[in-house]
Structure 1
Amino acid sequence: MLDMFRYNWQVRQDWFEWCRDLPEEELTKERTGGMGSILATLFHVANGEQIWVNQMQGTTVLMKEGVSSLDETVEFTNMTRPVTEHFLQSWNEETASQTLTKKRRDGSDYVFSYEKILKHLIAHEIHHIGQLSIWAREIGRKPVSSDLIFRDY
């Protein structure tokens, strides 16, 4: 699991660097899909990770609605990533089988294993990487390579 998170973090960092050359208007421009903009989608991925990990750890979820700049998104990622990494470094079979219960709107419960939540987080970020890649091509720029086979993580 940790390897896949490290892969996603590496790709996310590459997207941050890719974004440094974009005008602010392109970062925040309303787009179809994702969370509506490049910046909001990058923040959404990091925020979703911290929400789920903090819930699994029983620690305080950071209630942050959004960010206003790329630097703020990078700072937020740099602040939350060590928490996730520490959680994953202590990962074992017992942790994998623990569960988190969430309420549905109708009052019944969803019960998710920690392993399933982590798999969801991995897939969630990869999904949004695909959206960012489409948006990159729409503005005439080459997207970040997300080719796992050629990355060292």
Structure 2
Amino acid sequence: MESLNEYMEHQYQWVKHSRKKLFDYCSTFVTEDFVKPISFFGNGGSVRSLLVHVVNTYKAWIVCRGMALNTDFLKEEVVSSMKDVIPIYLDIDVHVDAFIKNSRQKKLGVTFMRNGRLCTLSPFHLFSHVITHEFHHKGQILSISRCLGYQPIDTDIIS
């Protein structure tokens, strides 16, 4: 049987495969649509704002809490196109890969304060949180694209 770390490594490969499909699709958007907010979506409501929000979530949970590293959070104004997004996610991939490899030593979990209470989460819990969060917002991005007149593609991990 494979170790939990090996399962996380495999699962993150599927996340990256699905993300590539989304990024290739989003690269076809005109700039105005990439940054256009749709009022009924949260976190800024644009494709750009959701992609920035997702990467900042990886930074908060994996880099800061999971690895106890300092990081600068991304401001959406520095992202004007998918060409700006791709290297940012490649950098996050490096951190996630290191987190997975290093989580073998952190089986007891990560303890921190959240909403005034002490929480302890396992590395697997943190990992699961960020990837399900990414998939939630991926669905929103596909819905935004439909609102903008695009035909969403299949970005499932089984294709």
The TM-score normalised by the length of structure 2 is: 0.80
Work out the CA distance in 2 between the residues paired with 1:79 and 1:149. 25
Which residue type is aligned with residue 62 of structure 2?
V
Q: CA deviation at 1:34?
A: 4.0
Answer whether contact 2:145 2:152 (CA < 8 A) is retained: yes
Quick check: 1:77 aligned with 2:89? yes
Alignment of 1:53-72 (within 5 A): 53-55=62-64, 56-66=66-76, 67-70=78-81, 71-72=83-84
Answer whether contact 2:36 2:47 (CA < 8 A) is retained: yes
Query: What per-residue deviation string (whole Å, max 9, x for no partner) do you get for residues 24-58 of structure 1?
Result: 11011111214210011112112211221112111
Q: Aligned match of 1:39 in 42, 48, 51?
A: 48
Partner in structure 2 of residue 112 of structure 1: 121
Which residue type is aligned with residue 74 of structure 2?
K
Alpha carbons of 1:135 and 1:59: their partners in 2 closer, same or farther (altered >3 Å)?
same
Deviates more, 1:118-127 or 1:30-39: 30-39
Where do 5+ consecutive residues of structure 1 fail to align? none
| Identity level (%) | 22
Work out the CA distance in 2 between the residues paired with 1:96 and 1:143. 39
The aligned length equals: 147
Which residue type is aligned with residue 19 of structure 1?
C
2:141 is paired with a residue whose SS is: helix
Alignment of 1:18-37 (within 5 A): 18-31=25-38, 32-35=40-43, 36-37=45-46
Deviates more, 1:51-60 or 1:120-129: 51-60
Answer whether contact 2:108 2:122 (CA < 8 A) is retained: yes
Q: CA deviation at 1:86?
A: 2.1
Answer whether contact 2:59 2:73 (CA < 8 A) is retained: no
Which residue type is aligned with residue 11 of structure 1?
S
The TM-score normalised by the length of structure 1 is: 0.82
Work out the CA distance in 2 between the residues paired with 1:144 and 1:90. 35
Which residue type is aligned with residue 72 of structure 1?
D
Query: What per-residue deviation string (whole Å, max 9, x for no partner) do you get for residues 67-105 of structure 1?
Result: 33122222211222112112213443x53431231242x
